[in-house]
Structure 1
Amino acid sequence: MKGDVKNIYRSMLDNLSALRAFVAVVESGSFSEAGYRLNVMPSTISKHVSFLEEKIHGQLIVRSTKHLSVSELGRRFYDRCLIILKEVEETEAEMLEYQMEPQGKLRITVGPSFAGYHLPRLIPSFLERYPKISLDFRVTPELVDLIDHSIDVAIRISSNLEPGLIAVKLAPNIRSVCVSPAYVEKFGMPAEPRDLENHNCLLTNEASSTAKWRLLQDGVENVVHVSGNLVVNHGDIYKQAILDGVGIGHLSRYLVYQEINDGRLIELFPDRGVVNSFIYVVYPQRRNLPLKTRVFIDHLRDAFRGTPEWMA
Structure 2
Amino acid sequence: MLNKLDALKYFCTAAETLNFRAAAEQLAVTPPVISRTVAELEDELGEQLFRRSTRTIKLTSFGEQFYLHAKQLLADSERLFQLGKKQTDDMAGMVRITLPELPNQTAILRDLLTILRPYPELTIDWRVDVSKLNAVEHRIDMGIRIGREPDPNFIIKPITTSGSLLVASPDYLAEFGTPKDLTDLAKNFPVSGLFNPHTGRIWDLQADGQSYTPLKINLITDDHAAELASALAGRTVSQISDLLCAPYLASGELVELFPELPQECWQIYLYRPYLANTPKRVLKVFGILEGILRAKLS
What is the TM-score when the length of structure 1 is the normalising length? 0.55
Per the alignment, residue 191 of structure 2 pairs with 201
* Structure 1 residues not aligned, in runs of 5+: 1-32, 39-92
In 2 relative to 1, CA 142–208 (structure 1 residues): closer, same or farther, beyond 3 Å? closer
Per the alignment, residue 226 of structure 1 pairs with 214
State how far apart, in whole Å, the 2-side matches of 1:147 and 1:229 are. Answer: 32
Per the alignment, residue 232 of structure 2 pairs with 243
Given residue 262 of structure 2, which amino acid in structure 1 is its aligned partner? R
Out of 129, 132, 140, the residue aligned to residue 115 of structure 2 is 129
Structure 1 residue matching 2:173: 3-state secondary structure: helix
For residues 237-277 of structure 1, the C-alpha deviation after alignment (integer angstroms, 9 at most, x for no partner) is 432331232231112222221101222111123452112x4
Per the alignment, residue 282 of structure 1 pairs with 271
In 2 relative to 1, CA 35–149 (structure 1 residues): closer, same or farther, beyond 3 Å? farther
Out of 179, 182, 185, the residue aligned to residue 190 of structure 1 is 179
Matched, 1:303 2:289: no
> Rg larger in 1 or in 2?
2
State how far apart, in whole Å, the 2-side matches of 1:293 and 1:211 are. Answer: 33
Structure 1 residue matching 2:236: 3-state secondary structure: coil
For residues 37-60 of structure 1, the C-alpha deviation after alignment (integer angstroms, 9 at most, x for no partner) is 68xxxxxxxxxxxxxxxxxxxxxx
Structure 2 residue matching 1:171: 3-state secondary structure: strand
In 2 relative to 1, CA 190–160 (structure 1 residues): closer, same or farther, beyond 3 Å? same
For residues 275-296 of structure 1, the C-alpha deviation after alignment (integer angstroms, 9 at most, x for no partner) is 2x42222223346643422332
For residues 129-152 of structure 1, the C-alpha deviation after alignment (integer angstroms, 9 at most, x for no partner) is 212232113443445443444332
Matched, 1:120 2:106: yes
What do you get for the CA RMSD once the two structures are aligned? 3.8
Out of 140, 145, 152, the residue aligned to residue 151 of structure 1 is 140
Given residue 114 of structure 2, which amino acid in structure 1 is its aligned partner? E
Given residue 274 of structure 1, which amino acid in structure 2 is its aligned partner? E
Matched, 1:214 2:229: no
Tell whether the 8 Å contact from 1:203 to 1:209 is kept in structure 2 after alignment.
no
Residue identity (%): 20
Q: CA deviation at 1:106?
A: 0.9
Per the alignment, residue 267 of structure 1 pairs with 256
Structure 2 residue matching 1:105: 3-state secondary structure: strand
Structure 1 residue matching 2:235: 3-state secondary structure: coil
In 2 relative to 1, CA 262–251 (structure 1 residues): closer, same or farther, beyond 3 Å? same
Tell whether the 8 Å contact from 1:126 to 1:299 is kept in structure 2 after alignment.
yes
Aligned length: 213
Per the alignment, residue 161 of structure 1 pairs with 151
State how far apart, in whole Å, the 1-side matches of 2:25 and 2:262 are. Answer: 74
Structure 1 residue matching 2:220: 3-state secondary structure: coil
Structure 2 residue matching 1:205: 3-state secondary structure: strand
In 2 relative to 1, CA 286–251 (structure 1 residues): closer, same or farther, beyond 3 Å? same
In 2 relative to 1, CA 265–124 (structure 1 residues): closer, same or farther, beyond 3 Å? same
Tell whether the 8 Å contact from 1:209 to 1:229 is kept in structure 2 after alignment.
no
State how far apart, in whole Å, the 1-side matches of 2:111 and 2:202 are. Answer: 42
State how far apart, in whole Å, the 2-side matches of 1:189 and 1:242 are. Answer: 14
Per the alignment, residue 177 of structure 1 pairs with 166
State how far apart, in whole Å, the 2-side matches of 1:172 and 1:141 are. Answer: 19
Structure 1 residue matching 2:178: 3-state secondary structure: coil
For residues 47-101 of structure 1, the C-alpha deviation after alignment (integer angstroms, 9 at most, x for no partner) is xxxxxxxxxxxxxxxxxxxxxxxxxxxxxxxxxxxxxxxxxxxxxx8xx94xx6x
Out of 122, 129, 138, the residue aligned to residue 140 of structure 1 is 129
State how far apart, in whole Å, the 2-side matches of 1:305 and 1:297 are. Answer: 12
Tell whether the 8 Å contact from 2:170 to 2:254 is kept in structure 1 after alignment.
yes
Per the alignment, residue 58 of structure 2 pairs with none
State how far apart, in whole Å, the 2-side matches of 1:150 and 1:244 are. Answer: 35
In 2 relative to 1, CA 308–193 (structure 1 residues): closer, same or farther, beyond 3 Å? farther
